[in-house]
């Protein structure tokens, strides 16, 4: 079934099975449970996790591995079961961006990724217990870091 919603990005038609349910909300937005992942071609790989209940709420998100090529963490068993994740491909992992006026001040939240199950369409924001990952990493610095890692790997070949 297709339903029309008003979002921060305008009016969108969404197949109801594409609705992502955050049963526990997202920290700071616990009352909002229904979201959709919008992928505008003109901003991809920046996408938008848009609330279907409050048209003023949408988070810019991207794949953290595109920014930090060695990004990894382990999910606890209870969360893996809740999301019905049997293999890594069952999950979509996203990080929230903060996009200020100055492009070189864009930050990415690597400490609390959004995990969406492709099997049951449930989503959670998970706080990683790893001091290496912070809530605000400068995007520019993370890209430079990843490029340095890649060039060291190429030199080693």
* pLDDT band at 152; cut points 50, 70, 90: confident
Q: How far apart are CA 71 and CA 46, in angstroms?
A: 17
CATH code for the domain in which residue 79 is found = 2.30.290.10
As a whole-number percent, the residues of the chain with pLDDT over 70 amount to 97
Q: Give me the residues paired with residue 68 across strands.
A: none
Query: Is residue 109 pLDDT above 70, yes or no?
Result: yes
**CA torsion, ordered 104, 135, 9, 105, to nearest 10 deg:** -10
pLDDT of residue 118: 95
**What is the CB neighbour count within 10 angstroms for residue 14?**
19
pLDDT of residue 147: 85
Query: Is residue 108 pLDDT above 70, yes or no?
Result: yes
Number of residues that make up the chain? 157
Query: Is residue 12 pLDDT above 80, yes or no?
Result: yes
* pLDDT band at 156; cut points 50, 70, 90: low
Tell me which residue range forms the domain holding 108.
2-155
Higher pLDDT, 157 or 8: 8
Count of domains forming the chain: 1
Q: Which residue has the tokens 């505008």?
A: 40
As a whole-number percent, the residues of the chain with pLDDT over 90 amount to 75
Q: Give me the residues paired with residue 80 across strands.
A: none
H or E stretch at 151: helix 139-155
pLDDT of residue 99: 92
* Phi/psi-derived region of residue 148, left when phi > 0, alpha when psi is between -120 and 50, beta in every other case: alpha
pLDDT of residue 154: 66
Answer yes or no: are the C-beta atoms of 29 and 96 closer than 8 Å.
Answer: no
Answer yes or no: are the C-beta atoms of 55 and 88 closer than 8 Å.
Answer: no
Cα–Cα distances in angstroms (integers) from residue 90 to residues 68, 75, 119, 126, in the given order: 21, 13, 6, 16
């Amino acid at each position: 079934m297709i339903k029309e919603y008003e979002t921060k990005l305008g009016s969108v038609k969404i197949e109801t099975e594409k609705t992502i349910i955050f049963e526990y909300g997202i920290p700071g937005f616990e009352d909002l449970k229904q979201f959709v992942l919008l992928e505008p071609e003109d901003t991809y790989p920046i996408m938008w996790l848009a609330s279907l209940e409050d048209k003023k709420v949408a988070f810019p998100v991207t794949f953290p591995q595109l920014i930090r090529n060695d990004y990894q963490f382990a999910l606890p068993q209870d969360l893996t079961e809740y999301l019905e994740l049997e293999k890594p491909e069952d999950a979509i992992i996203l990080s929230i961006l903060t996009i200020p006026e100055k492009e070189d001040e864009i930050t990415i939240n690597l400490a609390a990724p959004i995990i969406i199950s492709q099997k049951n369409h449930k989503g959670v924001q998970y706080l990683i217990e790893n001091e290496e990952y912070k809530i605000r990493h400068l995007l520019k610095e993370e890209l430079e870091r990843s490029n340095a890692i890649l060039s060291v790997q190429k030199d080693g070949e």
